[in-house]
A and B are shown apart, each in its own frame.
Chain A
Amino acid sequence: DAKTTQPPSMDCAEGRAANLPCNHSTISGNEYVYWYRQIHSQGPQYIIHGLKNNETNEMASLIITEDRKSSTLILPHATLRDTAVYYCIVRLAGVSGAGSYQLTFGKGTKLSVIP
């Protein structure tokens, strides 16, 4: 799986949009971009994923650049409860067998939402 690079930490004012970047310059054409977050002392929580197109759900938006080498997770109106570590992960699609099921977590970005 392609490696991802994220800033170790970011701050965001409460009520503002939080934009979390991720570089995945070695991503291949059949790899998805996934985002998870982990609030302190809890298990990681799935946020969103995408392949080529931008995606939006009730939690966030995912913007993937045209060359797919980077992406941005957007939390449109950050709240204090969004303070967490955010993980960007790339994962193979369309590959069968046990090896395709792994998610490899990096160190993520620690987002602090400031009142």
Chain B
Amino acid sequence: DVKVTQSSRYLVKRTGEKVFLECVQDMDHENMFWYRQDPGLGLRLIYFSYDVKMKEKGDIPEGYSVSREKKERFSLILESASTNQTSMYLCASSASGANYGYTFGSGTRLTVV
């Protein structure tokens, strides 16, 4: 089975901390994505990457950056965490082409205090 693994299920961080969320996939997928999910707002795309070292902004990139140094790993970075970044963060991967579905990780619930 395709697996997308997010490093932490729950995280609590302080305001102003630099936060790293890690995601690893084991199916050699070209594309990887970071979403956040909030009640009433649904899933919103933060960033995605379609190749190593390539990245594209999604709908809400402000306050975030990403890194993709290896094909299997896609990191989301909160440069200076704020309370409005408290959310569920979901990583996904897919093969190239529109005829392929996404595989999601289990999510990281981040609380910024």
Q: Which residues of A contact B (CB under 8 A)?
A: 32, 34, 36, 41-46, 49, 91-95, 98-108
Contacts of A34 in B (CB 8 A): 101
The 5 closest A-B CB pairs, nearest first, are A43-B104, A46-B101, A93-B98, A105-B43, A98-B56
Chain B at the A interface: mostly helix, strand, loop or mixed? strand
Q: Are A100 and B90 in contact (CB under 8 A)?
A: no
B-side interface residues, number (CB < 8 Å): 25
Q: Are A101 and B50 in contact (CB under 8 A)?
A: yes
A46–B101 Cα distance when bound, in Å, is 6
Contacts of B48 in A (CB 8 A): 98, 101-102
- Pick the residue among B45, B92, B98, B104 that contacts A100 (CB under 8 A): B98
A102–B60 Cα distance when bound, in Å, is 13
Contacts of A36 in B (CB 8 A): 101-102
A101–B54 Cα distance when bound, in Å, is 13
